[in-house]
Structure 1
Amino acid sequence: MEKMRNAFFLTPVLFAALTASAAPVNPAAIRAAAAYSAGQGGTSFLAIQNGQTILEQSANEPHKIYSGVKAFWGLTALAAVDDGLLSLDERVAETIPAWSADPRKARVTIRQLLDFSSGLEPVFYLHNNDPGDRDSLAIRAPVVANPGSAFIYGPSSLQVFHAVLKEKLKGESPTHYLERRVLHRLGLGSQRYLTDRAGNPLLAAGWLLSARQWAKLGEVALAGGAPVLTPGSIAQSWRGSGANRAFSLGWWNNKAAPGGREFDIESMLVPKWQRQTWGGTVLCRNAPSDLVACIGSGYQRLYVIPSMNLVVVRHGSGTRFSDAQFLRLLVGK
């Protein structure tokens, strides 16, 4: 761990010279959080406040971000709303006619697909390298809970969204739209899409991003969606759903702080959805309630704290890691 701790370095930026948009963070708190991350298998770390790099380690090395990908597709959905292609609250059956024949599928909205509250069977084998036509398999998957009643985290809902977006684009592929409308504006290029035999990408995971690259998404969140979205649109990502108040469009929120329940979100996602409990979910009771995060398996994390104008990225190696402990150190609590 000592070797890892020494690998961190402060940039030449003086903390007193940070812009007035947020009070300078405590450098000792940032170092303490970075040291905790390293001690729990962290492989990279990056902290940016007011647009200035405060502390970094291996920030340019790409890593798998797993479910961290989901928020990029959420951002793409919001771009499609801005472009007049769709509404989050329209019924999926308006675009996928086969869903009209099923009373429960007929009620599902695009928002519920993106919030994982559609009630659709998760169909985890869609993560496999060659599952067949992911979109068709997801469209045919059964609804196992009433729409809006349960948080069921899995790839099928996102693949149905891919099919909807593909129809809405009328010739342009969703990945091309993602790149043109979102990634290029962030200075990012084509990603590792893990396409199936029908050419459908896996929306739930697959990308490799460095801490610096992933932080670009955090900077979009701080900027209210710019340069991708119109002002105010990104707030849809923090609203939560009736099934899970702490999750929307690929982002986890801390709105229940200073109350709520702290627990390992990744561990909660392991049992079947019927045994998961999401009431009062909070990332850290001591962190600001405006904190939002993208969470990827193996403890990949992107944290954004707008009230501190702070973006923090850590990549993990799978060693157990506590969001609450890390965040308490980060904010000096």
Structure 2
Amino acid sequence: MKYLLLLTAAITFFSCQKGDGDSTVDPVPETMYFPSITDNTWQTKPVSGLGWNESAIQPLKDFLVQKNTRSFIILVNGRIVMEEYFNGHTPTTTWQWNSAGKTLAATTTGIAQQEGLLSINNSVSQYLGTGWTKEPLAKENLITSRHLLTMTSGIKDSSDLVITANLTYMADAGTRWSYHNVFQKLMDVVAAASGQSFETYFNAKLKNRIGMDGFWNNGVIYKIYNSNTRSMARFGLLALNKGKWNNEQIINETYFNESVSTSQNINPGYGYLWWLNGKTTFMVPSGQTVFPGMLVPNAPADMFAAMGASDQRIYVVPSKNMVVIRMGDASDPANPSFAVSGFDNSLWQKIKAVTN
């Protein structure tokens, strides 16, 4: 018995040892891991420990290079399983999220609501004053922050430049789904409700609490978030855990669950600025066509995603405890997408070959 106890103690001791360097290997993949918010050390998990098809990894990497990818990460239970950089990109390189950053605005809006600063069901005019659009006052007053979150403001979408002169009436709020940059008015709502700039509030309530780097800059059309790839992965990990980071609930779970559920009855594939897989129909930007089937047929049905122009991606797959990040140039420069593209399905075909 004494020898058995000694052997058990020895196994326990050595199994708890960590490797040296930037990343460490954790032998207990069943537990969820969160990296430190004070440095960029991150635990890893070898592909061999997951039973994945290792022979399919090189074809995946070749595809990523072919499709102008600059960085790619797969997390499982929070640990890095793959982390690749191409074309001069490095772990510290800053890159734009494009419309994938809409999900940051949605999350920050939810935090402001849970702090009692605003309600997404209130008229936007309650926070910005009347005249923030060129709509008739009665129509403008119909628009709530929830309509901005769900792309159902009814504002005419002929111009993506969000200036008052362009915010004209097309339909009553809640009756038409249309992908539109007017979502950025949520940033103005949060700023007005909190009495500080959106970025100051975002930094204090979200960015700093999960250890992200990055900044918002004024793009040609709207504010765009920029960060390194691991910061994008941190936000994906927060989403995988329904707004919880380690032991702290950053964003209310009820609100987060609303964010990644069908938010209106026009486009089932859309939540609060998140794209949703696994629905019976979906719509895409720049049109009113309703397409049958799933958004990304090769991806798991429970996958939800932040999608930005030139194929900036955060894919979150709860059933696999997985987060996938892709940053880079447009996969098809001749036909760059605003959000959803055929690239998603092709990429997931390659990922499935590795993970199944």
- Give the structure-2-normalised TM-score: 0.73
Q: Give the match for residue 18 of structure 1.
A: 29
Q: Name the SS of the counterpart of 2:130 in structure 1.
A: helix
Which of the numbers 124, 127, 141 marks the counterpart of 1:106? 141
Aligned with 1:276: secondary structure?
coil
Q: Do residues 164 (structure 1) and 164 (structure 2) align? A: no
Alpha-carbon distance between aligned partners in 1 of 2:60 and 2:96, rounded to the nearest angstrom:
21
1:308 to 316, 320, 325: 320
C-alpha distance 57-289 of structure 1, shift in aligned 2 (>3 A): same
Q: Given that residues 259 and 271 in structure 2 are in contact (C-alpha distance below 8 angstroms), is that contact kept between their aligned partners in structure 1? A: yes
Give 1:177's aligned residue.
201
1:139-218 alignment, distance < 5 Å: 141-159=167-185, 161-169=186-194, 171-189=195-213, 191-194=215-218, 202-203=222-223, 206-218=224-236
CA distance in 2, matches of 1:31, 1:78: 40
Following superposition, the deviation at residue 48 of structure 1 comes to: 0.9
| Unpaired stretches in structure 1, ≥5 consecutive residues | 1-10, 127-133
What corresponds to 1:6 in structure 2? none
Deviation of 1:164 after TM superposition, in Å, equals: 2.2
Evaluate the alpha carbon distance shift between residue 253 and residue 287 of structure 1 in structure 2; reply closer, same or farther with a 3 A threshold. same
Aligned to 1:46: 73
**Aligned residue runs from structure 1 range 240-251, under 5 A:** 240=262, 241-251=264-274
Change over 3 Å in CA distance of 1:300–1:189 after alignment to 2: closer
The structural deviation recorded for 1:37 is 2.3
Q: For residue 280 of structure 1, report the CA deviation from its aligned partner.
A: 4.1
* Identity between Structure 1 and Structure 2 (%): 22
**How far is the alpha carbon of 1:94 from its aligned partner?**
2.8
User: How many pairs align?
Assistant: 294
- 1:244/1:279 contact within 8 Å kept: no
Offset, 1:313? 0.7
Judging changes above 3 Å, is the alpha-carbon distance between structure 1 residues 30 and 72 closer, same or farther for their aligned structure 2 residues? farther
Aligned to 1:239: 261
Point out the structure with max Rg over C-alpha.
2
Local SS of the residue matching 2:82: strand
Aligned counterpart for 1:67 among listed residues 88, 91, 99:
99
Q: Which SS does the other structure have where 2:65 is aligned? A: helix
**Deviation sequence 1:93-144 (CA, Å, 0-9, x none):** 3334426962222211111112211011346453xxxxxxx6xx34872121
5+ residue gaps, structure 2, are 1-22, 33-48, 333-341
Q: CA RMSD in A?
A: 3.0
Residue in 2 that maps onto 1:130 = none
With over 3 angstroms needed to count, the CA separation of the structure-2 counterparts of 1:152 and 1:175, relative to structure 1, is: same
Q: Aligned to 2:349, which of 325, 328, 332?
A: 328
Give the counterpart letter for 1:224 in structure 2.
Answer: K
Please state how far the C-alpha of 1:234 moved relative to its aligned partner.
Answer: 0.9
The CA distance in 2 between the partners of 1:176 and 1:111, in whole Å, is 22
Q: Cα–Cα, structure 1 residues 226 and 31, in superposed 2: closer, same or farther, change >3 Å?
A: farther
Which residue of structure 1 aligns with residue 6 of structure 2? none
Match of 1:115 among 150, 170, 173: 150
SS in 2 for 1:77: helix
Q: Aligned-pair distance for 1:167? A: 2.2
